[in-house]
């Protein structure tokens, strides 16, 4: 780990940025050719130097302060901690030869967050290219590239990039003319964006329970909830697990219902070897910072229907006519993605298979290290090729989840509970006509663990688990 925290004084600012991005600590320790500590540089130091017109090709020694904090092997634990505060969050520890042998980090800082975006491919290159092109708003070549690339990856003919995943859901509902008095069936176990989008469209959400094995919306409960007012279903591929799209599409066909897939957490997941987002009328994806691939904020609608694609593009851009500029036939929205965001998305998409591979490998290591503990991991189900978004598991009935999370965080590791059932919140209760025992059971014991590409110290995570 020390190796990933050091850079040579001859390294450039750009090289230091890559090192800091890789170690996720926000700093690197600068050493000379003899591996002796000469300084500490933070990501903030580099940002400020760039704003002061220092070139990325400049040597890190040019911006390095001679006044930095460090500790020695002979320092007591108390002395070392006294050197840390809100400003100095990480310090190197050196031996008698001034070589870095360890480090100490501010205790309130989480060593292992649940998610952390990795921008180690062509993200910076494409971002600078988009910046230099001056096309930094909602037009530019990277938007077309990202829409074409991601829709193709998702087995769809068309992609419509938007500003976030919630906007994608709302845009899908609007384009399908779902509105006042229309009922839309959704799962009880999902993030609030799913139900909020339905409410923003002035439709009526109908909350139903989920399957116990997949944690996703139950096809049986969907059919029970259908009324003459039902117009659509929003299956949510929760935590990377595909819904039973075979049964759901059969129901949709039988009752002539629209299907909007919420794929925010499931980029690349498949049902019977077909990508999610390509089954229903429209698929909706999120590219928020904690997703499989990210554009910071951002989302996309995918479809195989040209008419819907064209309709969504008009609604996305203020409802302005594509043939007659500044002429508006419908009331639209500003749901556009910027060319800068799309540039990052194109680079992320180039690495998506490696991202999936790395996340899956980390999950396998979690399964191995926790195999003798009382955890139930997310199921691999026949016909459903889930992805690892976050390593998701259920704690046994004898473990207090909140206390367990507190213990993990005290040891420097973040963890997140599952989403609350929508029906448990006062503002949504009225949209659930019957209890959801399975959703409540899963939500009460679910836990998401750190899962991201640069999760290098899985052995250290193992030591943390052994202490809680």
Catalytic residue list:
291
Residue 394 tokens, joined: 């259920």
What is the three-class DSSP state of 84? coil
What is the three-class DSSP state of 31? strand
**What CA–CA distance (Å, rounded) separates 354 from 360?**
10
**What CA–CA distance (Å, rounded) separates 125 from 123?**
6
**What CA–CA distance (Å, rounded) separates 344 from 166?**
20
Beta bridge pairs of residue 364: none
Residue 380 has a CB neighbour count (10 Å cut-off) of 9
**What CA–CA distance (Å, rounded) separates 463 from 369?**
10
**Helix-strand-coil percent breakdown of the chain, rounded to 5?**
35, 20, 45
**What CA–CA distance (Å, rounded) separates 100 from 5?**
10
**What CA–CA distance (Å, rounded) separates 133 from 339?**
10
Pairing mode of beta strands 258-262, 282-286: parallel
Residue 224 tokens, joined: 């029970």
102 in Cβ contact with 460 (< 8 Å)? no
Pairing mode of beta strands 183-187, 230-233: parallel
175 in Cβ contact with 312 (< 8 Å)? yes
* In 352-430, alpha helices (H): 352-369, 401-410
Q: Considering only CA atoms, which of 291, 276, 302 is closest in space to residue 383?
A: 276
Q: What Cα–Cα distance (Å) separates residue 213 from each residue in 46, 247, 261, 460?
A: 48, 15, 19, 31
């Amino acid at each position: 780990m020390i190796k990933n925290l050091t850079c040579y004084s001859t390294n450039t600012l750009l090289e230091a940025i890559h090192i800091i991005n890789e170690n996720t600590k926000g700093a690197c320790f600068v050493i000379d050719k003899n591996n002796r500590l000469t300084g500490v540089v933070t990501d903030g130091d580099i940002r400020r130097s760039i704003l002061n017109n220092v070139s990325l090709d400049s040597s890190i020694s040019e911006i390095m302060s001679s006044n930095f904090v460090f500790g020695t092997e002979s320092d007591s634990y108390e002395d070392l901690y006294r050197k840390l505060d809100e400003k100095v969050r990480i310090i190197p520890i050196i031996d008698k030869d001034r070589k870095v042998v360890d480090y100490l980090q501010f205790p309130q800082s989480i060593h292992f967050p649940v998610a952390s975006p990795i921008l180690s491919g062509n993200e910076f290159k494409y971002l600078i290219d988009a910046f230099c092109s001056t096309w930094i708003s909602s037009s530019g070549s990277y938007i077309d590239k990202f829409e074409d690339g991601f829709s193709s990856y998702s087995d769809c003919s068309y992609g419509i990039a938007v500003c976030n995943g919630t906007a994608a859901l709302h845009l899908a509902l609007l384009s399908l003319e779902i509105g006042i008095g229309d009922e839309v069936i959704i799962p009880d176990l999902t993030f609030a964006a799913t139900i909020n989008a339905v409410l923003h469209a002035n439709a009526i959400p109908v909350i139903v329970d989920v399957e116990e094995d997949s944690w996703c919306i139950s096809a049986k409960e969907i059919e029970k909830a259908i009324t003459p007012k039902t117009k659509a279903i929003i299956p949510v591929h929760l935590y990377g697990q595909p819904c039973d799209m075979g049964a759901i599409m059969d129901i949709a066909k039988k009752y002539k219902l629209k299907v909007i897939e919420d794929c925010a957490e499931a980029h690349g997941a498949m049902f019977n070897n077909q990508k999610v987002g390509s089954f229903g009328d429209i698929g909706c994806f999120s590219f928020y910072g904690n997703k499989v691939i990210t554009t910071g904020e951002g989302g996309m609608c995918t479809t195989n229907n040209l008419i819907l694609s064209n309709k969504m593009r008009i609604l996305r851009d203020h409802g302005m006519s594509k043939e007659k500029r500044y002429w508006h036939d419908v009331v639209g929205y500003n749901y556009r993605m910027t060319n800068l965001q799309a540039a990052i998305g194109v680079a992320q998409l180039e690495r998506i298979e490696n991202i999936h591979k790395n996340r899956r490998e980390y999950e396998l290591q979690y399964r191995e290290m926790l195999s003798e503990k009382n955890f139930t991991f997310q199921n691999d189900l026949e016909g459903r090729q889930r992805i690892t978004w976050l390593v998701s598991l259920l704690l046994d009935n004898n473990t207090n989840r909140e206390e367990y999370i507190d213990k993990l965080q005290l040891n420097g590791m973040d963890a997140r509970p599952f989403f609350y059932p929508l029906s448990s919140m006062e503002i949504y209760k009225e949209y659930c006509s019957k209890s959801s025992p399975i959703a409540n059971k899963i939500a009460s014991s679910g836990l998401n663990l750190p899962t991201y590409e640069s999760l290098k110290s899985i052995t250290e995570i193992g030591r943390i688990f052994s202490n809680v």
